[in-house]
Structure 1
Amino acid sequence: MGINNQSTTVLDATNNWWGCNEGPDDDGCDTVAGSVNLDPWLTFTVTSDTAELDIGEEATITASLTTNSDGGDTSGDGTVPNGITVGFDVDPAGAGTLDPTSTSTAAGAATATFTAAAAGEATISATVDNATASTTVTVTGEEPPAVEKIELVASNTSPTAGEEVTLTATVTESAGDPVADVTVEFAVDGVHDTSGEGTTNEDGEATFSYTGSFAGTDTVTATVAGTDLSDSVEITWTVVSPPPVQFPPSQASEPKAGCIFFTQTQHNLCAGFRSYWEHFGGLATFGYPVTEEFVENGLTVQYFERARFEWHPGAWPERYDVLLGLLGRDMTAGRDEEPPFQRANPGAADHCTYFEATGHNLCFGFRSYWEAFGGLAIYGYPISEEFVEQNPDTGELYTVQYFERARFEWHPGEFPPRFDVLLGRIGAWALHQRYGTPYP
């Protein structure tokens, strides 16, 4: 864009930017016609805040439109151009990096950071409109050797929770020699979540240590910062189990007169608990007894593999005054926010029964089992929908559903007369949780 002054009055256009350093009407510059006072005009300059750098050091490069053709400073007279795009470049390209490579002027100037990468003369140029200016920076120092490989080793790949593990990353160049002063980033992914970084020493080694708190497996990855070079190692943590608690009711007992004695678990089943067990489900529903009778929270109780019998005198004479503990609720405490435990919409009426009391469906084989082998009195209401879960006894995945007093598990082909439904060993689990007895 130029100026065409058709007036007889002389137009003052001093300290104006004409798109190039040579002034108006020069090649690539704006044009002027008529009576215009042009001299002096703005010129474009590039400077560095330092003339020498070591490899890895930085310099601030300033591209400025605040000096006129007479060498005067115009930064304070309100004529500086703003919002003009400036592009930065370095020659040779491997001499270093510029950030940013393009920006706009503010208060008549734009800046970029030059980071030196190779020894020699670096010519840093900037271009605005049709003007290009440059400055030279001398880079000294030895270039670091090119990193070729990183290898990660753990002091212990099978530690016990509570111990400290040290990871050592060794960085080498193409000839296999160690590389010092390289930043290595460490990341732990698995049962623990932590990270850190270190700088290689003269042996090319950087270390990182952490202490485990849980059983399980971590994958630790070491990466050379700013590259894709990495190596990983797996660490499997274990927890030393305390010796089993000597809980007297769970210890092996001698046979008692008038009772059934189960050699499988070395426990007796007597009186009203025996009558209830024999009449309302037996071994398939309750499993073997895993304790003798004892008093818990003021109630006479007995634990079985799949249930806890409680004697409530006078509460239900038709069932020997025996009620079953709400072990399903105990086992799922704190899981209300998980999708299977949130209230559901009613399922298909011909396949499911919906229980408004808990907001859950009971469908297909689980419904058939519930209706045929105990119903509400034995199992209680459903407190979840069906979902797939890992069995804590075997580690296998099964379709399960939780009830107030039970966990149904679908074992295809294992028990057709009972719709292939088995009951989870939640009685043994509850005994372990409360008294520290062995489980599973």
Structure 2
Amino acid sequence: MSYVNEIYEKVVAKNPSEPEFHQAIKEVLDSIAVVIEANEEEYRKLGLLERLVEPERLIAFRVPWVDDNGQVQVNKGFRVQFNSAIGPYKGGLRFHPSVNQGILKFLGFEQIFKNSLTGLPIGGGKGGSDFDPKGKSEMEVMRFCQSFMTELYKYIGADQDVPAGDIGVGGREIGYLFGQYKRITGLYEGVLTGKGLTWGGSLVRTQATGYGAIYILDEMLKQNGKELAGKTVLISGSGNVAIYATEKCQQLGAKVVAMNDSNGYIYDPNGIQLDIIKDIKEVRRGRIKEYVEAVPTATYTEGKGIWTIPCNIAVPCATQNEIDLEDAKTLVAGGVMAVVEGSNMPTTLEATEYFQENGILFMPGKAANAGGVATSALEMSQNSQRLSWTFEEVDEMLQNIMVDIYRKTADAAERYDLAGNFVAGANIAGFEKVVDAMMSQGIV
């Protein structure tokens, strides 16, 4: 049995009932098999893959809090500190009912390679809770965040582990978490990113993941003789990533015609009016269906189906495994030429393979959505230096980082005779840097 298959089988046996984690491990190991086979004897001796797939630390705790009726509620809290070979752990906190240990391990494992690709000194981690901020009052969210940080603070720090936001954790939640950390420790340090601009945050951080995905899309198209201007784009989701991916697409001359949320999708053949989406989602915290009340020419459809709309480019920005094989077939039949993952692993393995087999330009999330964590690392730098850079300075650095990620990804694929396979290229480029650091630091 090959070393890759041996490790995958061990992961499945040791981590039952964690399908997302299994999927992430398989996708990465299969795509870097050419590198592993070339170094198998040394990697086996050092137990390198065994160490790579096992988190350095897995923290689980209960989070008791009191709701507005005086009733005590209890949620689960987690922090997965996966790999610190190239820097302190870095990765978001997710507050959502779907959060469990397996999903966070999948996200933390992906984060290792995503962070490596940025070229910045940050390791991989992830965390969160099964708490759902939706429908909770401001005071309930604050009490939960304070209770969550009362346990988490023991394991994080500016040079140890620097969480950020993710699904369900925006500026409001980061503020409550940071306030409690400062209250407990007496330290005003860059322990969280995504902070408010008046107290240590970075310009562009809000836009970074969405902008970054489109910057790498634009570079991929240019390097393959195509252009973004004039293209029809579908963007799933309507949160932070989707909103700013839409904004950057529009700035670069593309037309985004559809967005969605967990209830259904809107289709506006004239192009999404982003100011209306921002008002619904960022100001009123409403549902996407409210768009058709302001734009009568648009349509709203309950349930899934956004990928049935013909398009040139698809940018999934919602959640994992939202594009399956049937969706991929529908997109290809509808004329898609490029797919860029704005979220973490939104495309199943079967769908990814189908896109690649049909010559679709496909950029995986660990490369395409690295803009958020890259700008988080830039926020860490500003905090360490007690500086605040301009929007233009940070945006230029972000664009340079995303263009560099494309080049690293394309170059790694070409070095192993896999030209155009950006999934393999991203995994190889991220893996090589992490493995070099692990081997240099001994058996730890």
TM-score range (shorter-chain normalised) is: under 0.3
Using CA pairs under 8 Å that are at least 6 residues apart, name the structure with larger relative contact order, 1 or 2.
2
Structure with a larger share of its residues in strand: 1
TM-score of the two chains, using structure 2 as the length reference: 0.24
- Higher-Rg member (1/2): 1
- Between Structure 1 and Structure 2, the one with more helix by share is 2
Q: What TM-score, normalized by structure 1, do the two folds share?
A: 0.24
